[in-house]
Chains A and B, each alone.
Chain A
Amino acid sequence: MKIDKARYIAENFDDVCAKDRVFLNNPVIFHSLGIAPLVVMDTSGRNALMLFAAVLLLLPIVRVVPMLLMEHFGEKARPMLVCGVAALAYIPVYFILYFIFQKNLLSLGIYLPMLVCEPLVIQRFEHTLDAGISQTVRKSIGFTLGYGLVLFVLGLVREFLALGQLFGVQVTKLLFFPLASTPMGGFILLGLLAAVWQYGLIRYKKYVNMEAKRTV
């Protein structure tokens, strides 16, 4: 890494992290968002793809539209406005998803409609909406990509450990960890994934600081 870049990152590490919503400021690992569908439903590559498509379609609408309507409703009505927009947006999103995935969508059970109340989609009510539209759109795209990354990594790992498959293709007959397809296994594996991720962040920070202190 170039010394100037390393010094800039080392001096502004928190700001750099805040802007990177895929790796350094992942919504799941560092904000604990969207955990319910990850733990219960993200048990295969196919489920990960369906959940990612749902979040990709829902999240930008639910983040941007309430922002535009807020001035007509006021801050006190924000929770109802956001959830109402999410529930309404869910209707066309559901049709689009069904058109793409057909009856496979039923395997997501109640966790697909539950995205309407998921903090990842509706954002926590404790935080105020003071960002502009472009920043909100960038944030929502970043969050979607970050969530998608965790979805696919966890889903594929769980599918491999529990069934010996990847995206439905049998890779091995050995079932290393059948518990991986259950919610208990989901909690534990997501915890281990979060630990590995945090370890990566710690190492990255050390690396950047070392590079910044280099004189040559």
Chain B
Amino acid sequence: MSTVFHDVSLFLLYAVLAVFAQNAIFTRSLGVSRMIALVEEPSLNSVLFGGLLVAVQLLAAPFGWAYATYLAPLIPASTLIRAAVRPLAYILCSFLAMGIVWLVLEHGIRSPRCSELKMLLPLATLNCCVLGTLLISGSQHYTLAQSLGFGLGSAVGYLFAVLLVTEAQRRLRTDAIPPMFRGLPITLIYTGILALAIYSVTGHMLNV
């Protein structure tokens, strides 16, 4: 019972840390290009994207943990093979997660938004946030509870960052902004200033 309680508290702690102190966008800049596309493209629904990202992260986390715990040690660390096949292994974990979500969308859910969700699914799966989270969990040797928490927190933190920057677009699309700063420059500066605020929590460069 105490083990379950310990794991649940670890899960929650890592989830909260990943949302704020180790935010995917503001601290590690994972998936910034995709975030800018989401913010600038009104046809892409950020909330649906975020929901899919949460689902994929939660499903990919145990696969990634299983690879890092059981399969990766079989490859000798002294050879370069373990480092070279890391992205392939984690991409396959993402594929498995995507497959499960796709099956649920295909057969489990009857919703008018299913086709939109299926269109967003590859974008939500094959992006730097998912791969980066799996790589970090693997390199830091997280337990299953920590991996799940970190995966959930990363996805929620990513969505939080997207919504924050989208909220800012009302002020970042005015004609008052000098022409040379309109678009990407002002979005990056805005994100950088928000990242400064998150710095106050961690205060140092995180291990990558």
Interface residues of A (CB under 8 A from B): 29-30, 32-36, 39-41, 79-80, 83-84, 86-88, 90-91, 94-95, 98, 109-111, 113-114, 116-120, 122, 124-126, 182-188, 190-192, 194-196, 198-199, 202
Contacts and interface: CB of A to CB of B under 8 A. Distances in A.
B208 A110 contact: yes
A83 B91 contact: yes
Contact of B85 (A80, A86, A91): A91
A156 B131 CA distance: 28
B188 interface: yes
Contacts, number: 158
B72 interface: no
Nearest to B122: A79
A35 B195 contact: no
Interface of B: 26-34, 36-37, 40-41, 80, 83-88, 90-91, 95, 98, 122-123, 125-128, 130-132, 135-136, 139, 178-189, 191-193, 195-196, 199, 205, 207-208
Contacts of A111: 208
A184 B192 contact: yes
Given A95-B84, A109-B208, A195-B180, A35 B37 contact: no
A188 B87 contact: no
A194 B91 contact: no
Contacts of B199: 182, 184
A33 B33 CA distance: 6
Given A195-B185, A198-B180, A188 B193 contact: yes
Given A122-B126, A125-B123, A187 B29 contact: yes
A184 B29 CA distance: 9
20 contacts: A29-B184, A32-B184, A34-B33, A35-B32, A35-B36, A39-B32, A98-B80, A110-B135, A117-B87, A117-B130, A119-B33, A119-B127, A126-B41, A182-B205, A184-B195, A184-B196, A188-B189, A191-B189, A194-B184, A195-B186
Contacts of A125: 122-123, 126
Contacts of A35: 29, 32-33, 36, 188
Contact of A40 (B28, B88, B125, B139): B28
Nearest to B138: A110
